[in-house]
Chains A and B, each alone.
Chain A
Amino acid sequence: MDFLKARLTLGWALRTPLNIALRPMNTETKNLQSSRIRAVISTATDRLAGSVFILPTVLALLFLSIFPLIASLYVSLARFDIVRGGYKLTFVGLNNYKKLFVGSEGDHFLGKFAPGTPLTWLVFGAVVMALAVFLARYLLSARVSIGGLIGRVLLTLGLGVLAWMFVHTLWGGGRLGTASVTLVYVFVGIFFQYILGLMLAMLTVQNLPGRRFFRVVFLLPMMITPVGVAYMFRMLTDTSKGPFTPIWQGLGLINFSWVNNAWGARTAILIGDIWQWTPFMFIVLVAALESQPIEPIEAATVDGANSWQIFRHITWPAILPVSMTLILIRLIEAFKIVDLPNVMTNGGPGTATQSLTYHAYINWRALNIGASAAVAYMLLFLVTFFSMILVNLIRQRAVENL
């Protein structure tokens, strides 16, 4: 009975000839012989389905990923010179990487380190304590495995080093390097994009007149090419010809330029980034909210749950997996931010708004292809580090705790 019901409602809902799909395949054949052969073939092809479904993707990825990956790894270990009739690669070992950690490139990549102040040690001490507690809690828990332990020790070390870098470059005479600036863009940007995207998605799945208009409007920023968004924000943030000139005048900032203030420039770029990428979070969350079944919500309402309880116990668990995926994709993409700093501020003031990709781009423009590839690989390490944390620790725990 249930089968029949499912079939009927489905057919009605989809308006597809589902009954063809659900009809047994080998009943109406006249010739027994041919039907048996067909059955053999169909079971054979069915058994191959697993391979057929995934093989095109794997082959395409292998074709276009393995060679560029290994080739650029080799380039990062080499010096690139233009010679007559082409180019020459000379193997130099880890020289390109060494340059990123010491000397002038070190200032550029890691930032300029200031001597420690009490505040520095206070913040760093707090971070170390938190990491130690995290590790100790894992060691005291019942489920300790070698792989899990290695992963968590690496995580603790990595986060500790990053925290040390941050506290020494953020205050005093320090200056943020391209690595820290990229991390600021990524985490501040994603935080606001997710919160705004979720809020707007929750509001537009309500039964409001005109919600389709809002949905299409909210998608608009994502559709503009990133270079275009960057030029548009350069127009808007111009303090003497942009639309907000009267406001700047009122604040006495008419001669103010983004080129002078590091955090002002970074904020301008972050606003551009949030403006452009909130729609991505928004559209995916709308689709997730729309595809969750409505019966549990109805049942909860009948039982007298308030809207916060419904959100916390029904909606939130339903959209959590897709949210994790969203954040992972945005994390990977946000690390590659380059158009906004390049067009809006040219990386200035000094190197204050340069991201890692922009750093790689500068080296690349100067035909320092080896150094550029080294920066790109450091970026790859950072992204892998944070994606691993997200996928293995946070995603797993979040999905487990549902």
Chain B
Amino acid sequence: MERWFQSKSINTPSPVGAMLSYLVLGTWAVLILFPLYWLVITSFKISSQVAEGPFYIPFVDFKPSLDAWKYILVGDLSNDTLRNFSNTLIVAPVSALLALVFGSTAAYALLRFDYRPRVGSILTFIGCVILSIIATSLSVPWPIALAVSIVVFFILLQTIGRRFKHALGNNDIAFWMISQRMLPPIAVVIPIYILFQQLHLLDTYTALIITYVTSNLPIVIWLMRDYLNTIPVELEECASIDGASRYRIFWSIVLPLAIPGLVATFLFVLVFTWNEYLLALFLSSAKVQTLPLTIAAQNATRGPQWWNMSVLILIMIVPVIVIAIILERYITRGLLIGAVKG
């Protein structure tokens, strides 16, 4: 009787524990998969089959049809779908990768270096931004206003900015970064639109990628800061004594050890950029539209087109699932085993 409750090793549960685990995991898996199953069978229905009530099993309850799939992939909507699909396929991974690179370096920097930005210089900076906005609204051309305020900023920085002794620390910088995500996109979307309009970057990959990278940097920084914090600093000290530069330490020691965290963060940011809707709606008009716009467009004047929508949602999650299956194996234990002893 005893052995039913005895686990063989630390990480292996006892037989009873394993059964209970499977019960919980199985229940949650059903809760996840049933809505997706409904999505799959809806994609094989035609409008009357949806309208007449619930049909559960294809071939038994109803006769599946490929109409919606044909309409999306080879029919009327195929040009839109395929173009938006390839746009998403370019924009989302590139943005996620760039956000991961810049974000993890910044996270490392916030852990290992001390920054002390002075309150005086921050106030000067904000003052100069306000100055340039006021100048622009008084119909001074923006390049001139920007140049003048940059000059004013550096002059003030050298004179007034140095007077203030009070300075902020790393935690304040980190909080400032995460606070960039607090304003809902609906409030900032018009200013961002105007910004890219002035730079003549509307409807380009550049605009979307810049926006996505910037809006996801804070998340990468905060998550990576915690993961990198678990890496023992002794390893870096060893390398430093042996003469490796900061960049080398970061690249060859810190990053490889942080792979589980990097993969989890990458997946999350990828999903965020992959599914972003509101900013894409404003920053793209024809050329670089992404897939979420196509899905939202299916709620047409005749009411939601459930079958088309299901097909679109399904083809939209396939690439992310493939990436997740490839990357999942890297989220495993054991990279740090035996790295530091004593």
Contacts and interface: CB of A to CB of B under 8 A. Distances in A.
Interface residues of B, number: 134
Interface in B313-342: 313, 316-317, 320-321, 324-325, 328-329, 331-342
B105 A10 contact: no
B182 A380 contact: yes
A232 B313 contact: yes
A286 B264 contact: yes
Interface in A150-181: none
Given A68-B188, A207-B11, A60 B252 contact: no
B52 to A, nearest CB: 8
Contacts of A280: 268
Contacts of B1: none
A401 B146 CA distance: 48
A391 B320 CA distance: 32
B284 to A, nearest CB: 15
Nearest to A209: B18
A206 B178 contact: no
A318 B333 CA distance: 14
B245 interface: yes
A225 interface: yes
Nearest to A25: B243
Range class of the A interface residue count: 35 or more
Best-surrounded residue of A215, A218, A325, A361 (most CB of chain B within 10 A):
A325
A64 B192 contact: yes
A286 B327 CA distance: 14
A200 B29 CA distance: 10
Interface in A169-211: 196, 199-200, 203-208
Contacts of B154: none
A268 to B, nearest CB: 13
Contact of B313 (A72, A224, A288, A380): A224
A232 B37 CA distance: 11
Interface string A27-56: 000000000000000100110011011101
Contacts of B186: 338, 357, 360-361, 364, 372, 376
Nearest to A13: B335
B12 A373 contact: no
Nearest to B179: A384
A236 interface: yes
Contact of B335 (A14, A74, A275): A14
A276 to B, nearest CB: 10
A46 B180 contact: no
Nearest to A50: B113
Interface string B255-277: 01110110110011001001101
Interface stretch (A95-103, A115-123, A237-245): A237-245
A203 B249 CA distance: 35
B42 A235 contact: yes
Given A6-B339, A200-B28, A214-B29, A57 B245 contact: no
A325 B171 CA distance: 13
Contacts of B187: 72, 360, 372-373, 376-377, 380
A97 B238 CA distance: 57
Nearest to B262: A287
Interface string B1-22: 0000000011111000110011
A83 to B, nearest CB: 16
B38 A235 contact: yes
A6 B219 contact: no
Given A206-B11, A217-B29, A220-B36, A376 B183 contact: yes
Contact of A72 (B191, B256, B325, B335): B191
Contacts of A74: 133
A251 B210 CA distance: 52
Given A50-B109, A206-B21, A298-B10, A387 B182 contact: yes
A313 interface: no
Contacts of A387: 175, 178-179, 182
Contacts of B238: 3, 6-7, 22
A49 B247 contact: yes
Interface stretch (A106-114, A140-148, A326-334): A326-334
Given A13-B334, A228-B309, A233-B35, 20 more contacts: A6-B341, A50-B113, A57-B105, A60-B102, A60-B213, A61-B177, A64-B211, A205-B333, A208-B13, A217-B32, A223-B320, A225-B295, A236-B35, A243-B34, A284-B264, A293-B336, A294-B333, A328-B178, A328-B222, A329-B219
17 contacts: A2-B341, A21-B244, A23-B243, A57-B106, A57-B217, A60-B217, A68-B188, A71-B194, A72-B188, A196-B28, A200-B28, A206-B21, A226-B277, A245-B54, A318-B230, A376-B187, A387-B179
Interface of B: 9-13, 17-18, 21-22, 24-25, 28-29, 31-36, 38-39, 42, 50-54, 56, 102-103, 105-106, 108-110, 113, 115, 126, 129-130, 133, 171, 175, 177-188, 190-192, 194-195, 210-211, 213-215, 217-219, 221-223, 225-227, 229-230, 234-235, 238-239, 242-250, 252-253, 256-258, 260-261, 263-264, 267-268, 271, 274-275, 277, 291-292, 295-296, 299, 304, 306, 309, 312-313, 316-317, 320-321, 324-325, 328-329, 331-342
Cβ-closest 8 pairs across A and B: A376-B187, A53-B109, A68-B191, A225-B275, A49-B246, A287-B264, A50-B113, A71-B191
